[in-house]
Amino acid sequence: MANTPKVFIDGEVGTTGLQIRERLIGRTDLQLISIDPDKRKDPAARAEMLNAADAVILCLPDDAAKEAVGLIENPLVKVIDASSAHRTHADWTYGFAELDKEQRKKIAGSKRISNPGCYATAAVSLTRPLVSAGLLSADLPVSFNGVSGYSGGGKAMIAEFEDEASPNYTKVAYRIYGLSLTHKHVPEIQKHGGLLTRPIFTPAVGRYAQGMLVELPLHLGLLEGSCSLGDIHAALAAHYKGEAFVEVASLDEAKSLATLDPEGLNGTNRIKLFVFGSDTSGQARLVALLDNLGKGASGAAVQNLNLSLGLDEKAGL
């Protein structure tokens, strides 16, 4: 174990941290180290762990994540931040390996990696290939609609839906939120999705634990050239060809479906993209399906960890 890289999860008792730990525990290609539970809030003890690790995964609120980074003095420590603190920061590498042909190499060579947000992973996966292919103008106003399981809101929201003793317990089946259109994922979606115009994002939460659907509706007549559903599908398929964790459903499969289950990829690090719509009506409905705690959080963090340490990218996934 002497030469096995040491990994420390700062915030391992949170929703994302627990799932990352489950994916890492028992692996022989790395060594998972943990802080004494009584010292989790002790800055000196945390600093010691943060600087002793080869790689650190931060599963903390934004301010706490920034504080943790400030405690790291060892220049060799690699950091994967699962918070939203650094997702648009110029000095941090965006941890969506499938973003473009160079992103995987950038992640592997970086010491500061920002793990993407769950909604942003889906939105960026739909827009970036279309902008890169010249089908979607970067300045075209677009909107995204998303629904996630309540685990996306962390322990507080989980308690709202599961703990009948909670003062905020609710039996609501579905609710919208982010009504001010200032959701924290929007800057990230805009930057990494290749968009020049701030997109509208309308999120919602359903009464189920995890899994999500994110939609991008498009008028084909507003896209570049005589764009068809086939052109959109071809651009997505070409962009993600050979990827292990991103799948583009065939047009035939999409046509055969009457609905999609947001829980369909739970427990995986996969994301599946669909192109629905009609050339006759001139409208498209692009949909991304993923686990908000998988490819949308803990799975992506493990994938980025593997890349940063030069391990098998699929290990633990």
H/E stretch holding 158: helix 154-162
Q: Whose CA is closest to 184, among 123, 119, 127?
A: 119
Q: What is the dihedral of CA 35, 39, 43, 44, to 10 degrees?
A: -80
Distance CA 137, CA 131 (A): 6
Torsion-angle region of 11 (φ positive above 0: left; ψ -120 to 50: alpha; else: beta): left
The reply to whether 59 belongs to the active site is no
Distance CA 246, CA 256 (A): 20
**How, if at all, do strands 271-278 and 283-290 pair?**
antiparallel
Q: Is 10 in a helix, a strand, or coil?
A: strand
From the list 118, 227, 293, 297, the catalytic residue is: 118
Distance CA 191, CA 251 (A): 29
With beta carbons less than 8 A apart as the criterion, state whether 8 and 68 touch.
Answer: no
The residues annotated with a catalytic role in the active site are: 118
